[in-house]
Amino acid sequence: MAVVDQAYFHCNQCKEFKSDIRSVRVEKQTVDLTPSWSTAIEICLRVLQDGTPAGKAMARHELMTIAEHLDAALPGNAPAVGGLK
């Protein structure tokens, strides 16, 4: 089979495959890409080490937000107000 014949054969296969795809119903699925707490902390630490000034400020804010949520989750602790600036 010549190269031209092979290309035509592959194109015909693609056309047939595409027409088959149109008749298949695909269910939408949601994939949760929420990072774990340890991954979120690792990302913040890397940004603090190598990030831009704006990125470092965001990482500090996120770490404080995480700390406030953890403090509030402990029994007997009132929600934190403010924090270190």
Please report how the helices 37-50 and 53-73 are oriented relative to each other, as an axis angle in degrees rounded to 10.
150
Q: Using CB atoms within 10 Å of the CB of residue 44, give its burial: 0 to 12 exposed, 13 to 18 middle, 19+ buried.
A: buried
* 47-79 pLDDT tens trace: 999 999 999 999 999 999 989 988 988 888 766
Which position has the token pair 């795809």? Answer: 21
Q: How far apart (Å, rounded) are the C-alpha atoms in residues 3 and 7?
A: 6
DSSP code of residue 29: -
Q: How confident is the model at residue 5 (pLDDT cuts 50, 70, 90)?
A: very low
